[in-house]
């Protein structure tokens, strides 16, 4: 069952669990609501453990003010109500205290979302609501005033974040991708990096051609594919909004994740089989499919690709810093020399190979290749761990690399492909 097919109360309980399990709020912080077509507002309760919230805990407030449920509504219900009153297009609100966004709320700084093209497209503008007492009428008015101006993402001074959207899944995904980006920005600031600002990468224009889906792909292959997507999500190597996985299944056919679907909500039926440049009727591959197809056509050694914006690795795409893989043997064995490409250098980007299995596209994304999807996953994990370690090591006076003689010995002893 897909997320949006659940009752509103169930959606709120599931989203709160997802927020809590992903470390985006605390037991006592944050609240979620949905407004139905009749004007009823479903909202998380006050004083109930966020880690154990269930469908029956969700409160309902009718348009005439009747409160239905076994708890008290969140004390911050007033600002939810204010937003719904001034923005009829908003049907779901998420308020939480993600650490990175709380840091910005304390520093009174808007995130520099323009540094990553996909983030800027999703969240072109953010703003601040002036501080007021939690649960107060003033706070509700302060936040609603910003939503009245057309903002959908509002940082609250010394408090947290409020996001409004057409449904709860979209509101959560916006918050998650923004928090991931903000952590990247903060990591970059911590090592006093110089930011770069290259243009957004544009995929080749295409007109989808379709075929009647008859090809049968092993269920084991598709199950493993979904397992690795979900595992990458749990490890924050991807977000629900952004991440592309693909796997070659024959010379001219590959599986790829679908276009604009929550990657934590997909199953094997959502995967798209691109076959000779055509896709099944009724299915839509991620817009990156043309680039993946070009890579598979160019390099027969590559059977799997993962494209993402993982938190630590992305520091090296939005700054002038270079990523030196020679800090531990595993890093060099798995990653070799990492290339940084400009977004307009398409031929360089698709020149990823077993000799150069990782490409950083500046201000856009990370791309890793493998001969299997598991190997590509392993490589991405090593990349992200290495980026994190390198950023932490940067706090010290000097970083020592494995020397050239030892690198030659590694080259002669290991083949990570």
The torsion angles phi and psi of 312, rounded to 5 degrees, stand at -80, -40
- Residue 176 pLDDT exceeds 90: yes
**Kind of pairing between the strands at 127-129 and 244-250:** unpaired
Report pLDDT for 260: 92
DSSP 229-246: HHHHHHTTSS-SSS-EEE
pLDDT grade for 55, boundaries at 50, 70 and 90: very high
Report pLDDT for 51: 87
**Kind of pairing between the strands at 209-211 and 278-280:** parallel
- Residue 178 pLDDT exceeds 80: yes
Report pLDDT for 29: 87
- Residue 206 pLDDT exceeds 90: no
**Which segments within 75-181 are labelled E, that is strand?**
92-96, 127-129, 153-156, 160-165
**In terms of CATH architecture, what is 3-190?**
3-Layer(aba) Sandwich (3.40)
Q: Which of 5, 54, 76, 179 is catalytic?
A: 76
Is 76 marked active-site?
yes
Average confidence (pLDDT) over 19-37: 95
Nearest by Cα to 116 from 387, 367, 361 = 361
pLDDT grade for 412, boundaries at 50, 70 and 90: very high
Walk across the sheet containing 304-308 and list its strands: 209-211, 278-280, 272-275, 253-256, 244-250, 304-308, 365-370, 358-361, 339-341
Cα atoms in the Cβ-side hemisphere of radius 13 Å centred on 269: 4
Average confidence (pLDDT) over 94-106: 98
**Alpha helices, H only, 193-280:** 219-234
Report pLDDT for 214: 74
Looking at every residue in the chain, the average pLDDT score rounds to 96
pLDDT grade for 213, boundaries at 50, 70 and 90: confident
Helix (H, G, I), strand (E, B) or coil at 179: helix
pLDDT grade for 416, boundaries at 50, 70 and 90: confident
243 within 8 A of 306, measured Cβ to Cβ: yes
| d(C-alpha 314, C-alpha 113), whole Å | 13
Report pLDDT for 279: 93
- Residue 98 pLDDT exceeds 90: yes
| d(C-alpha 155, C-alpha 353), whole Å | 42
- Residue 227 pLDDT exceeds 80: yes
**Kind of pairing between the strands at 59-61 and 67-68:** antiparallel
pTM: predicted TM-score of the whole model, two decimal places:
0.96
Which residue's structure tokens are 């629900």?
240
| d(C-alpha 184, C-alpha 177), whole Å | 11
Residues 6+ apart with CB under 8 A from 298: 350, 351
Report pLDDT for 114: 96
- Report the percent of the chain where pLDDT is more than 70: 100
CATH 3.40.225.10 fits 209-413, yes or no: yes
Average confidence (pLDDT) over 190-208: 90
| d(C-alpha 349, C-alpha 295), whole Å | 9
Give per-residue pLDDT as tens, 331-388.
999 999 999 999 999 999 999 999 999 999 999 999 999 999 999 999 999 999 999 9
Average confidence (pLDDT) over 265-270: 97
Average confidence (pLDDT) over 42-59: 94
| d(C-alpha 239, C-alpha 262), whole Å | 9
| d(C-alpha 304, C-alpha 287), whole Å | 17
pLDDT grade for 164, boundaries at 50, 70 and 90: very high
Q: What 8-state DSSP symbol labels residue 227?
A: H
- Report the percent of the chain where pLDDT is more than 90: 93
Report pLDDT for 274: 96
CA 222 to chain CA centroid, Å, is: 22
| d(C-alpha 77, C-alpha 85), whole Å | 12
| d(C-alpha 188, C-alpha 123), whole Å | 20
| d(C-alpha 359, C-alpha 182), whole Å | 22
**Kind of pairing between the strands at 253-256 and 365-370:** unpaired
Are the folds of 3-190 and 209-413 the same?
yes
Domain residue extents for the chain: 3-190, 209-413
């Amino acid at each position: 069952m897909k997320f949006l097919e659940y009752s509103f109360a169930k959606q709120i309980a599931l989203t709160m669990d997802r927020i809590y399990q992903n470390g985006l709020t605390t037991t006592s912080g944050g609240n979620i609501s949905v407004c139905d077509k009749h004007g009823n507002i479903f909202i998380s309760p006050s004083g109930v453990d966020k880690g154990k919230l269930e469908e029956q805990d969700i409160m309902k407030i009718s348009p005439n003010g009747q409160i239905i449920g076994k708890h008290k509504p969140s004390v911050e219900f007033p600002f939810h109500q204010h937003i719904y009153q001034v923005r009829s297009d908003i049907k779901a609100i998420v308020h939480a205290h993600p650490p990175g966004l709380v840091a910005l709320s304390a520093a009174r700084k808007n995130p520099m979302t323009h540094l990553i093209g996909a983030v800027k497209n999703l969240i072109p503008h953010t703003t601040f609501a002036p501080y007021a007492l939690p649960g107060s009428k003033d706070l509700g008015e302060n936040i609603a005033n910003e939503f009245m101006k057309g903002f959908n993402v509002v940082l609250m001074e010394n408090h947290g974040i409020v996001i409004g959207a057409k449904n709860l899944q979209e509101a959560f995904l916006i918050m998650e991708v923004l928090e991931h980006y903000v952590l990247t920005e903060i990591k970059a600031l911590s090592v006093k990096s110089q930011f770069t600002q290259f243009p957004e990468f544009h995929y080749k224009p295409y007109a989808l051609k379709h075929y009647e889906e008859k090809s049968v792909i092993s269920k084991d292959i598709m199950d493993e594919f979904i397992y690795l997507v979900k595992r990458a999500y749990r490890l924050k190597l991807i977000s629900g909004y952004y991440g592309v996985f693909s796997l070659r299944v024959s010379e001219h056919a590959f599986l790829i994740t679908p276009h604009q679907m929550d990657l934590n909500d997909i199953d094997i039926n959502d995967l798209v089989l691109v076959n000779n440049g055509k896709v099944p009727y009724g299915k839509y591959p991620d817009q990156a499919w043309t680039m993946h197809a070009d890579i598979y056509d160019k390099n027969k050694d590559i059977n799997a690709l993962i494209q993402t914006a993982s938190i630590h690795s992305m520091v090296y795409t939005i700054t002038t810093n270079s990523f030196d893989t020679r800090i531990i043997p595993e890093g060099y064995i798995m990653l070799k020399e990492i290339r940084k490409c400009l977004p307009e250098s398409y031929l360089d980007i698709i020149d990823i190979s077993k000799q150069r299995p990782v490409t950083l596209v500046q201000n856009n994304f990370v791309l890793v290749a493998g001969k299997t999807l598991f190997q590509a996953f392993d490589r991405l994990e090593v990349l992200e761990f290495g980026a994190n370690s390198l950023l932490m090591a940067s706090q010290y006076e000097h970083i020592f690399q494995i020397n050239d003689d030892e690198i030659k010995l590694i080259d002669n002893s290991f083949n990570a492909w």
